Structure 1
Amino acid sequence: MTLDTASLRVSFALVALTLVVLFYVITYRTGRSAYAAWWCASLALFLVGASAYLLAGTTHQAWANPLGNALITLGAGCVWAGSRSLRRDRHALPRWLLAFAPLVVGVMSLLGDPADDAWSGGEFFLAAMWIQLGLAGMELGVLVRGANADAHPDAYAYRRTVWALLLACCTVAAFYLGRWVAFLAVGPDRPLFTTFFGEQVTTLATTVLLATVSFSMSTLSEEQQKEALRDTAARDGLTGLLNRTAFFQLAEAARERALGDAAGGSLVMADLDHFKQLNDQYGHQAGDRALVAFADCCRSAVRSADLVARYGGEEFVILLPGADAARADEVARAISTGLARRSEPDLPLPTVSFGVAELDPALSLDEMVQRADTALYRAKTTGRDRTVHYTTEIAP
């Protein structure tokens, strides 16, 4: 016995409803991870979109089918956004980008003849589906390649879960690509399309994707929560920069890579001048504002491969892999200039002194910090608001 399209759509809607309720209550409300939020939104959109399709063949088809197309398209966009949220090196997708494909699909579906043509705007809908699911697969592929199997005890389980989700996204994306090509080549009414890419096969394929998401939800949401906790533990609560402990953990590996590639680098110590006077005259809240402003200037001046940390109090440390002395001076100037521009009449921000030491393969990271600190001390004692490089002449 073969289920008809309406029966499959009802089954799909019931599955989506069950999953969205379960994962909203159990997974999202427990950890509130971004991944869980995006997938719950995706499930809800697939549910409502599939429900709209149930009105096909009635007098409501004229608005129900375009609405269903737009909602399913937005659901695929949430799949993309959810996959992207697992990558800590990427910003969230802007809302306009998520809204673009559903808007185009909805408008093109309405501009056709949706009252009589169930496939009005179909070429735009199918294109939006395979493109967005393909982009989700790309995000997951980068995540798999960058995952470090030694990063934490559950790394292998995490990678297997991401691989399963990657395979499901790519498979469904390829399926929708095939549907799109067949739709353009022969149309939706020819046996080639109805046999291999018809509504029954599509509903089953999408159900497989939802089942894979269900399998991955708990593992990936839990890992995202753990990453957030690890990131919080590694950050200074005021400035958001790395704390001292996290800096040394990350800097050692970055230093070894730079020296192994013969790229060299520089280590910079920075200290806000007359910071105690700022606190005494304007209060500790003003001092906090100065520290936050300095951290913002650091983030604007360095590259993504550089490391910046609050070393303690008003002192900061910056590792610049591959940067020579001239580049270190450029970063110091950019930070000082940026801080001066942020100064206000009611809160004159302090100047900054910098000490720079060149990375030396013969020395440990602690010894490099000591050299940079020696250069910083010379900068403080010779007038402040300047950059001094370590040399043997200024060694204690």
Structure 2
Amino acid sequence: MSLMTAVVVIVSGTFFIVETMLRRDEGAGRVWSVAFLSAMLTTLAYMVWAVDPTVMWPVAVGNTTFVVGTGCMWLGCRVFNGRRMTIATLTVAVGGIGALLTVLLAGPDAGDWAGAPWMFACILLFAALGCVESVRGDMGTYRTSWGLCAVLGLQAVFYLGRIVVVIAEGFDSTLFNTWFGSAMTSVLTVILTIVALVVTSVLRADRAGQRGPARLESSAPLGTDDVLPIASFTVLLTRAAERAATRAEELAVLAVRMDDLPQISSAFGGEAAREISEAARASVKRSTSALALIAQDGTNGLLVAMSAASEPDARRLAGIVYRGLLDDLAEVGAGVIPVIGIGVVLTGTADAQPASGDAAASPCAGAAQLIAGARESARRAAGEAGSAVLVGGADLSAR
């Protein structure tokens, strides 16, 4: 069983890591690669310990990488959903360090299960958090992610059972060795590895298809139905902003945010959420000029760049987009309308300028600053009662 588990984990992990390197993947793919690498190190460490059970360092390494690998599955889901990482990363680091120290402090007389209670508790926590995170935010709009949710939930339940049985019966009990011992853990590991490989590969491929390669020298290819990937949008926005600056003209960048798509997907199915997304794309195209730049911004948003004579003109254009969305989305499916927020930033505002000398060194720093400002305004507009459109941080409701 240990050999079979090692083969599955090493082959799967190698495949995912090599694919990450070839894709030059960023974000969630890199974090999930660390999870697969940790799983590979875990199996190798436990195989070394199986050959010579008198040494404790393989147990310490195996327990640590097991905890870190499970934690990185959770962290990868958080990165995919665009959530803050500082506290979560520190939590995983503390869990890994604790797993290492509990084995080393227990010493060689602690037996085969040295440091196991801490490891069990950490894996239970990170698997449960990963299960919840995999069906929230952007990941929640993909039915594929429910497979990852299922196996992480199964892992959490399994380790909860291990903790309960250890407390009630001990490590040497027949119940523990039959249902929660190494053999059952190996079966669970194989299932988790295979499902995680499939799900994370599909999610990464879909996200890469939306965003496209971030290369300045690209020819800025169009996405489907003339909606740009975000990388091409950034390049074209940079060039348009440079041309507008030489003519003392203004450009407005609009971020359209629909926060309730994951909940709509859960309540009415993924097909309803996709219909809303497609209707929103078509509505924004109809509500903007033929020369406007439109890009897909994740799974629940759009970005638009177009000329605006002034701030009131930008408010008027955003209002047209907002009212068009309300009218068009009311006719889709069951008539469920997500919470819509539109944020607007003008190229002439101070917020559109790079914040530092390092940012200014990047050709796309100004465009990235504009996009970030529009996204923040859209987030506030969607979250604050009575605010439909925010221009430059001020409430300019279009209702």
Alignment TM-score, normalising by the size of structure 1 = 0.61
Alpha-carbon distance between aligned partners in 2 of 1:136 and 1:145, rounded to the nearest angstrom: 11
Q: Which amino acid aligns with 2:178?
A: T
Is the alpha carbon distance of 1:81 and 1:213 closer, same or farther for their aligned partners in structure 2, counting shifts above 3 Å? same
What secondary structure, in the 3-state scheme, does the structure 2 residue paired with 1:141 have? Answer: coil
Alpha-carbon distance between aligned partners in 2 of 1:264 and 1:241, rounded to the nearest angstrom: 13
Aligned-pair CA distance for 1:63: 1.8
What secondary structure, in the 3-state scheme, does the structure 2 residue paired with 1:52 have? Answer: helix
Is the alpha carbon distance of 1:117 and 1:253 closer, same or farther for their aligned partners in structure 2, counting shifts above 3 Å? farther
Residue 39 (str. 1) matches residue 32 (str. 2): yes
Question: 2:132 maps to what in 1?
Answer: 138
Is the alpha carbon distance of 1:61 and 1:295 closer, same or farther for their aligned partners in structure 2, counting shifts above 3 Å? same
Alpha-carbon distance between aligned partners in 1 of 2:323 and 2:384, rounded to the nearest angstrom: 9
Q: Which amino acid aligns with 1:11?
A: M
Alpha-carbon distance between aligned partners in 2 of 1:110 and 1:23, rounded to the nearest angstrom: 32
Aligned-pair identity in percent equals: 22
Map 1:101-180 to 2 at 5 A.
101-143=95-137, 146-147=140-141, 158-159=142-143, 161-180=144-163
Is the alpha carbon distance of 1:198 and 1:204 closer, same or farther for their aligned partners in structure 2, counting shifts above 3 Å? same
Contact 2:16 2:36 in 1 (8 A): no
Alpha-carbon distance between aligned partners in 1 of 2:17 and 2:369, rounded to the nearest angstrom: 40
Map 1:292-311 to 2 at 5 A.
295=370, 298=373, 302=377, 304-306=379-381
User: Which among 128, 149, 169 is matched to residue 186 of structure 1?
Assistant: 169
Question: 1:359 maps to what in 2?
Answer: 398
Alpha-carbon distance between aligned partners in 1 of 2:364 and 2:176, rounded to the nearest angstrom: 63
Question: 1:381 maps to what in 2?
Answer: none
Q: Which amino acid aligns with 2:117?
A: E
Question: 2:294 maps to what in 1?
Answer: 245
Aligned-pair CA distance for 1:178: 1.0
What secondary structure, in the 3-state scheme, does the structure 2 residue paired with 1:182 have? Answer: helix
Alpha-carbon distance between aligned partners in 2 of 1:17 and 1:33, rounded to the nearest angstrom: 22
Structure 2 unaligned blocks of 5 or more: 213-228, 242-252, 256-291, 296-302, 306-316, 331-336, 354-359
User: Which among 13, 17, 22 is matched to residue 10 of structure 2?
Assistant: 17
Question: 1:345 maps to what in 2?
Answer: none
What secondary structure, in the 3-state scheme, does the structure 2 residue paired with 1:109 have? Answer: helix
Q: Which amino acid aligns with 2:33?
A: C
User: Which among 272, 282, 285 is matched to residue 348 of structure 2?
Assistant: 272
Alpha-carbon distance between aligned partners in 1 of 2:211 and 2:157, rounded to the nearest angstrom: 33
Question: 1:331 maps to what in 2?
Answer: 393
Q: Which amino acid aligns with 2:182?
A: E
What secondary structure, in the 3-state scheme, does the structure 2 residue paired with 1:118 have? Answer: coil
Alpha-carbon distance between aligned partners in 2 of 1:272 and 1:223, rounded to the nearest angstrom: 35
Alpha-carbon distance between aligned partners in 2 of 1:289 and 1:210, rounded to the nearest angstrom: 38
Contact 2:254 2:342 in 1 (8 A): no
Question: 2:190 maps to what in 1?
Answer: 207
Aligned residues, how many?
Answer: 295
Tell me the C-alpha RMSD between the 2 structures: 4.4
Alpha-carbon distance between aligned partners in 1 of 2:11 and 2:64, rounded to the nearest angstrom: 22
Higher alpha-carbon Rg? 1
User: Which among 157, 178, 182 is matched to residue 195 of structure 1?
Assistant: 178
Question: 1:365 maps to what in 2?
Answer: none
Aligned-pair CA distance for 1:200: 0.4
Residue 74 (str. 1) matches residue 113 (str. 2): no
Contact 2:342 2:377 in 1 (8 A): no
Alpha-carbon distance between aligned partners in 1 of 2:200 and 2:376, rounded to the nearest angstrom: 38
Aligned-pair CA distance for 1:202: 0.6
Alpha-carbon distance between aligned partners in 2 of 1:127 and 1:36, rounded to the nearest angstrom: 26
Q: Which amino acid aligns with 1:84?
A: R
Residue 64 (str. 1) matches residue 64 (str. 2): no
Contact 1:105 1:124 in 2 (8 A): yes
Question: 1:367 maps to what in 2?
Answer: none
Contact 1:56 1:118 in 2 (8 A): no
Is the alpha carbon distance of 1:273 and 1:329 closer, same or farther for their aligned partners in structure 2, counting shifts above 3 Å? closer
Aligned-pair CA distance for 1:91: 3.5
Contact 2:13 2:37 in 1 (8 A): yes
Residue 231 (str. 1) matches residue 230 (str. 2): yes
Alpha-carbon distance between aligned partners in 1 of 2:154 and 2:112, rounded to the nearest angstrom: 25
What secondary structure, in the 3-state scheme, does the structure 1 residue paired with 2:75 have? Answer: helix
Structure 1 unaligned blocks of 5 or more: 1-7, 148-157, 279-284, 308-318, 333-355, 361-396
Q: Which amino acid aligns with 1:34?
A: G
